[in-house]
Amino acid sequence: MANNKIEITGLRKRWLVSSLSPIFVVALLIAGTFCVVMANYYYNMMLDGLKTRAAHASEYFSSNAVTNFREFYQSASSFASEFSERDIMELQFINSSGRIMASSYGLTAGMAPGTPDIINAFQTKKIESFRGVDPHTGEHIMSVCAPLLLDEQVVGAMRYVTSMSAVTRELLITVGVAIGLLFLCVGMVYVSNMVFINNVVEPVAEVTEAAKRIAGGSYGAQMENHYRDEIGQLIDAINNMSSQISKSEKVKSEFISSVSHELRTPLTAINGWGETLLEDDDPQQLRRGVGIILKESRRLTNMVEELLDFSKMQDGRFTLNIEPTDVQAEFEDTIYTYMELFKQDCIELHYEGSDDLFPPTPSDPERLKQVFCNVLDNAAKHGGAGKRIDAAVTRGAGSIVITVRDYGPGIPEAELPFVKQKFYKGSSKARGSGIGLAVCDEIIRLHEGTFTIGNADGGGCLVTITLPAE
């Protein structure tokens, strides 16, 4: 359980990092851009206001005729004393030497600010601005200096100075509110992501526990499915997998039990007759015993071959040795071999050949004979009660069709779809491993043919083998 918690924590962490990191980076970029834009907006708006005010004021001040410095000083002192916006900014008049000769505050007269806006205004004869720290007070200020001209000569300058503290405070409040809203949005995204990831992690934890139970041997265990999304599809898939594994385990157990029984029976007969023949010299008994031993040995050989073929099918080593083959001749050889064997069991084997010429067909004769023998064996094993088996070979359109029919009880309709599945024996009590038909189906499939099993009209089972022919 501890490992499961670690995995879930890692999943949640990876999800949040991968989803929130880009959002957080974007939020920081937006916040930084907003701060820069708002700061420039506030400062530029403030600067433009000061420049406009300075331009109008200097124009108004210069329009009054000033002929000497005394008149200039009196006009400046009067203009500064009557300045009505002294609460938000300071109006200064600067003489040609760069010192304050009149101020709306009255406390800075005689001081030399020494800021670049004054120097530049005297040099360029244009309005200049400055934003920075006041050398005398250490306060962050913004100033605009407009030169005052007399006969095209700079006789002084008019300077507006305002503190940046109030603007900075307003800017910080605005930016703070904006950043707060931005982080609120990020927080909402985080909460929604947490809700979403929890809705994913909890089902994943359930699926993990169920998968561990199945891996631990609880085959067939089922989970309740409360979801209608991809998680629900995953749960359905795991439930189906669990059911299939349970069925496979059951079939495998039945197969092992069946094969063990099938192997034990002929081995017991061989051992028993071997011991009997060692102690009995009766020729008739000897002949009978040897016949039984050969029959049981042949059965063992067939079972071992089926198991080997099945093993090759499972790991992809099941191949064909293709060569030109007379399919009809191979089938007829098998028929004539089994005719004598079936007579011993009082079963009549009727064969109907074809008068058409069958050209050599690319195929594996040994594998085809294996299919033919298996089909005839099954016909006798499961349909021998009818005491008759019909076999035929015909030429179809681009194909060779082989049919084998018995007159036994047939196959229950419910079992027909499964008779070719490996290990499947259905309700039949006949001996066998349950993989012979699966091997036959694979052989015919590799020949690009079809292998079908069904019930014949009038009773009995009908096997149809179709092979492509040029």
**Euclidean distance between CA atoms 176 and 171, whole angstroms:** 8
Are 30 and 136 within one domain?
A: yes
Mean pLDDT within 397-401 = 87
Are 117 and 235 within one domain?
A: no
Are 38 and 131 within one domain?
A: yes
For residue 309, being part of any structural domain is answered with: yes
Are 442 and 384 within one domain?
A: yes
Are 263 and 139 within one domain?
A: no
For residue 430, pLDDT over 60 is answered with no
For residue 212, being part of any structural domain is answered with: no
**Euclidean distance between CA atoms 381 and 375, whole angstroms:** 10
Q: What is the pLDDT of residues 47-79, one digit of tens each?
A: 888 888 888 877 776 666 556 667 777 777 887
Domains held by the chain: number? 3
Are 156 and 33 within one domain?
A: yes
Of the chain, the percentage scoring pLDDT greater than 90 comes to 8
For residue 79, being part of any structural domain is answered with: yes
| pTM for this prediction | 0.46
Domain boundary among 118, 150, 169: 169
For residue 185, being part of any structural domain is answered with: no
CATH code assigned at 257: 1.10.287.130
**Euclidean distance between CA atoms 59 and 53, whole angstroms:** 10
Are 263 and 328 within one domain?
A: no
The residues, any chain, with a CB within 8 Å of residue 52's CB and separated by 6 or more, are none
For residue 217, being part of any structural domain is answered with: no
CATH code assigned at 441: 3.30.565.10
For residue 18, pLDDT over 60 is answered with yes
- For 459: left if phi > 0, alpha if psi spans -120 to 50, otherwise beta; the answer is left
**Euclidean distance between CA atoms 336 and 158, whole angstroms:** 129
Query: What is the overall mean pLDDT for the chain?
Result: 80
Q: Which of 128-132, 146-150, 176-180, 420-424 has the highest mean pLDDT?
A: 128-132
Are 124 and 38 within one domain?
A: yes
The residues, any chain, with a CB within 8 Å of residue 31's CB and separated by 6 or more, are 175, 178, 179, 182
- For residue 449, the model assigns a pLDDT of 92
Domain boundary among 293, 315, 337: 315
Domain boundary among 315, 332, 352: 315
For residue 187, being part of any structural domain is answered with: no
Selection from 174, 180, 139, 183 nearest residue 41 by Cα:
174
Are 364 and 440 within one domain?
A: yes
Rg (CA), the chain: 52
Q: What is the pLDDT of residues 342-381, one digit of tens each?
A: 888 888 999 988 777 778 889 988 889 989 988 998 888 8
For residue 198, being part of any structural domain is answered with: no
For residue 289, being part of any structural domain is answered with: yes
Q: What is the pLDDT of residues 96-131, one digit of tens each?
A: 888 888 888 766 667 888 889 888 888 888 899 998
Higher per-residue confidence, 15 vs 365:
365
Are 50 and 126 within one domain?
A: yes
Of the chain, the percentage scoring pLDDT greater than 70 comes to 88
Are 262 and 364 within one domain?
A: no
For residue 464, pLDDT over 90 is answered with yes
Are 336 and 447 within one domain?
A: yes
Q: Which of 4-18, 278-292, 404-418, 426-440 has the highest mean pLDDT?
A: 404-418
Give residue 402's domain range.
323-468
Selection from 123, 78, 131 nearest residue 101 by Cα:
78
